[in-house]
Structure 1
Amino acid sequence: MKIKQFEYKPLAHYSYALISDGEMAIIDPERDPMQYYRLAKEHNARIIAVIETHPHADFVSSHVQIQKETGATIYNSEKLGADYPYESFDEGDTLKVGNATLKALNTPGHSPDSISIAAEGDGKTVLFTGDTLFIGDVGRPDLREKAGNMQVKRQELAEMMYDTIQNKFTDLPDDALVYPAHGAGSLCGKNLSSENSSTLGNERMGNWAFKKQTKEEFVSTLLDSQPFIPSYFGFNVDINKSGAEILRNSLAEVPFRMNTSQKGIVVDTRSEQNFKKEHLKGSINIQATSEDDKFETWLGSIIEPNEKFHLVIENPGDLERILNRVGKIGYEKQLQSVFTLGEENLVASEQLDLQEFKDHPDNFTIIDIRNKSEVEEGKFFESALSHPLNNLRHTADNIPTNKPIVVHCAGGYRSAAGSSILSNQLSGVEVYDLSDEVTQFRD
């Protein structure tokens, strides 16, 4: 039994392939399935199963595409209420993949339809936990109040998670390998480890959720200070419940234009430096220049599901890469075009006099666009007004405009987006991006 872990860093997502005796199963696949196909070809393995531990909120899965292109059977909990053909995989059900045996465990808590998979083969046990059990944490319980087949309140799901952690893994050995669907940086939990795997024994010793505590104590800890919920999360749950279109077909419908401009909502994916030199007036700078850029998260937080928008890219060679990133969260259907900049309607960003700001900070309105939980841990500027980036387009009109505005986050990436939003929405006031200079003001 061989296990291959795949990581998509921008969303801190892990997917898996299990190969045994010429057969292969894929667990929680990302939107582009080609890497799984390449692995199957390398091992001369036939893909017979694709398993969804739950309908994911933070990315679009390729389970239906894999089914169409390989003939594999989709397995998930019947509680999911999927609209695509599938085989139910719930408590007591087993699946053979080569010489390996996969057993389903119903593990509600992150969602009411969550399952985990215990795989046994070659004398070892591997546990694929989806968004139920992470390394050092458990999945958040507050994403299924407005989306999916079963809409359950966070209190009820948190109580389900307590019962899951207390009871569902007790018969599994300490040396069982734990493979979650997410790591540090994901918004599907709040304190995820940077480790990409663990053992059940290590989690029993070090994960707060396994510590002896009452249900009330567990629920209180789990519900406290969860991160914000991006706008697109419920949208992705519904897409995954129905099944996404084949990726390459869907992306092929997006038009591309050279050296032009477009009206409407424009997202500029270029670097902050190039954006500030010149950009289309009114555009929003959500950078997508490296894997460290949380482009998908912020695109899906700032732009609403089904809201039409255009994208600016640096050069035509970026087209395929950027389109694939848009497709990761299923936003390609609302993407009206991708284009490189022409020469019309271009403006430059205002440049902050940093020394003036240091000497006279009270002469500026300071806007802190970090998340609520970050602000609660401590402010960089006592006078700063909190306007988290994920909601900034909706709260911008509440910001005073009697002074120049300085926007900051924790490191500079988000403030590029925030300052561009405010420059567009607030008239008659200068808006500056503190950018990475904010590091000079940390304690």
Structure 2
Amino acid sequence: MIIKQFEYKPLAHYSYAIISNGEMALIDPERDPKAYYEFAKAHKAKITAVIETHPHADFVSSHLQIHKETGATIYNSEKLGADYPHKSFDEGVSISLGDISLNALNTPGHSPDSISIVATDGTKTALFTGDTLFIGDVGRPDLREKAGNMKAKREALAEMMYTTMQTKYNKLPDDAIVYPAHGAGSLCGKNLSDAASSTLGEERKSNWAFKEQSKQEFMATILDGQPFIPLYFGFNVDINKKGAESLTPALQRVPFRKEESATGLIVDIRDAANFKKGHLLGSINIQGLSETDKFETWLGAIVAPNEAFTLVVAEEENAAYVLNRVSKIGYETQVKEVITLENEQLLKSKELDLHDFKQNPEKYTIVDIRNESEIADGKFFENAIVHPLNDLRNSAKNIPTDKPIVVHCAGGYRSAAGSSILERQLKNTPIFDLSEAINNFK
């Protein structure tokens, strides 16, 4: 049994290929299937199965495209209510893959239709847990109240997760390797480890969810302090339930041009320094050129599903790259066009006098755009007002405009987006981005 873990770092997403005797199965594949095809070719394997552990909220899967292009059978829980061709994969169902066996466990909690997959090869066991069991944590239970075929209240899902953790993995050996769908940085849980895998024995020792506790104690822990839910999460659940359009034709429909202007919502993906030197009126700066940029998350948190927007890139060569990133969350259909900027008469962002700010912070309205869970750990500025970035387009109107405004986050990436949103919406007030200078105040 050959197991390959693929990582898409901006979304902290893990997907998997399993190969045995020339046959290959994919688990929770990302939107672009190219890497899986290359891996299959390198190992002279035929993709025969694609397994979805649940309809994902944080990324769009390529399961339907892979089925169309390879003939692979799609497997998922019948509880999912999938609209694409598939076969049921629930407890009691086994898939033969070469010389190994893949068996399903129904493990509800993150969603009502979640499954885990047990792969056995002789005495070796691999456990693919989707968003149910993470390394050091379990999946959040509050994403299916408004999306998907099966809706469930967070309390009901928290109770399901308790039962799952108490019963579903009990018969599996301690040396079973645990392979989750996400790692640290994902919004599908709150305290995920940096580790990409673990053993079931190690999780039984160290993961809080395996510890002996009452149902009430478990539910209180899992429901407390979960991250915000980006706007796009329910949208992606629905896309994954239907099956996404194949990637290449979806991207080819988006036009590119060199332009001096744009109307409507504009998302500028250039780095903050270049954005501040010159940008179109009303642009929102969501940086998307680095693999460390959480571009997809913040695009899907700031821009609503079905909201049309124009993308601004530095060079034409960036267009294909950023469109591919946009497609990870299914937003490519909302992109009106991709443009570069030719006009030298662009708007410049105001530069903060850092010395004056340090000496006279009372002269400024300080806006802290970090998440509520971060705020709970303490403020950097006692008099800062809290407006988390994910809701800033809605809450900007409540920010006082009698003083210049200084925007900050924890490291500088988000404050570029936050300050540009306030530039767009509070046009007659000076807006400053504290950016990486926040590190001087920690």
**TM-score if structure 1 supplies the norm length?**
0.99
1:67 and 2:70 correspond: no
User: Does the 8 Å contact 1:183/1:193 carry over to 2?
Assistant: yes
Aligned length: 442
Q: Secondary structure at the residue paired with 1:347? A: coil
Q: Secondary structure at the residue paired with 2:257? A: strand
Over aligned residue pairs, what C-alpha RMSD do you find? 0.7
Q: Equivalent residue for 1:193?
A: 193
Pairwise CA distance, 1:427: 2.5
Give the whole-Å Cα distance in 1 for the aligned partners of 2:342 and 2:242. Answer: 39
Give the whole-Å Cα distance in 2 for the aligned partners of 1:276 and 1:410. Answer: 19
Q: Equivalent residue for 1:242?
A: 242
1:179 and 2:179 correspond: yes
User: Does the 8 Å contact 2:270/2:312 carry over to 1?
Assistant: yes
Give the whole-Å Cα distance in 2 for the aligned partners of 1:9 and 1:269. Answer: 18
Give the whole-Å Cα distance in 1 for the aligned partners of 2:144 and 2:258. Answer: 41
1:105 and 2:105 correspond: yes
Deviations 1:163-197 (A, max 9, x none): 00000000000000000000000000000000000
Give the whole-Å Cα distance in 2 for the aligned partners of 1:331 and 1:342. Answer: 26
Q: Secondary structure at the residue paired with 1:17? A: strand
User: Does the 8 Å contact 2:289/2:322 carry over to 1?
Assistant: no
Q: Equivalent residue for 2:336?
A: 336
Q: Equivalent residue for 1:218?
A: 218
Which of structure 1's runs of 4+ aligned residues deviate more than 3 A?
none
Give the whole-Å Cα distance in 2 for the aligned partners of 1:424 and 1:109. Answer: 40
Q: Equivalent residue for 1:415?
A: 415
Q: Secondary structure at the residue paired with 1:166? A: helix
Pairwise CA distance, 1:290: 0.6
Which one-letter code corresponds to 2:54 in the other structure? H
User: Does the 8 Å contact 1:67/1:73 carry over to 2?
Assistant: yes
Pairwise CA distance, 1:346: 1.2
Q: Equivalent residue for 2:158?
A: 158
Pairwise CA distance, 1:51: 0.1
Give the whole-Å Cα distance in 2 for the aligned partners of 1:88 and 1:206. Answer: 33
Q: Equivalent residue for 2:401?
A: 401
Deviations 1:18-43 (A, max 9, x none): 00000000000000001000111111
Give the whole-Å Cα distance in 1 for the aligned partners of 2:290 and 2:408. Answer: 21
Structure 2 runs not aligned, ≥5 long: none
Structure 1 runs not aligned, ≥5 long: none
Give the whole-Å Cα distance in 2 for the aligned partners of 1:422 and 1:27. Answer: 41
User: Does the 8 Å contact 1:90/1:106 carry over to 2?
Assistant: yes
Which one-letter code corresponds to 1:162 in the other structure? Y
Which one-letter code corresponds to 2:336 in the other structure? Q
Pairwise CA distance, 1:260: 3.0
Q: Equivalent residue for 1:438?
A: 438
Give the whole-Å Cα distance in 1 for the aligned partners of 2:411 and 2:367. Answer: 14
Give the whole-Å Cα distance in 2 for the aligned partners of 1:78 and 1:122. Answer: 28
Deviations 1:96-123 (A, max 9, x none): 0000100000000000000000000142
Pairwise CA distance, 1:426: 0.6
Give the whole-Å Cα distance in 2 for the aligned partners of 1:123 and 1:320. Answer: 45
Pairwise CA distance, 1:154: 0.2
Deviations 1:373-424 (A, max 9, x none): 0001100001000000000000000000000000000000000000000011
**TM-score if structure 2 supplies the norm length?**
0.99
1:144 and 2:144 correspond: yes
Give the whole-Å Cα distance in 2 for the aligned partners of 1:157 and 1:345. Answer: 54
Q: Equivalent residue for 2:364?
A: 364
Give the whole-Å Cα distance in 2 for the aligned partners of 1:56 and 1:428. Answer: 42
Q: Equivalent residue for 2:167?
A: 167
Q: Equivalent residue for 1:320?
A: 320
Pairwise CA distance, 1:342: 2.0
Give the whole-Å Cα distance in 2 for the aligned partners of 1:269 and 1:262. Answer: 15
1:221-300 to 2 correspondence within 5 Å? 221-300=221-300
Pairwise CA distance, 1:259: 3.8
User: Does the 8 Å contact 1:279/1:348 carry over to 2?
Assistant: yes
Give the whole-Å Cα distance in 2 for the aligned partners of 1:351 and 1:33. Answer: 43
Pairwise CA distance, 1:258: 1.5
User: Does the 8 Å contact 1:225/1:373 carry over to 2?
Assistant: yes
Which one-letter code corresponds to 2:44 in the other structure? N
Give the whole-Å Cα distance in 2 for the aligned partners of 1:215 and 1:178. Answer: 24
Which one-letter code corresponds to 1:399 in the other structure? I
Pairwise CA distance, 1:344: 6.2
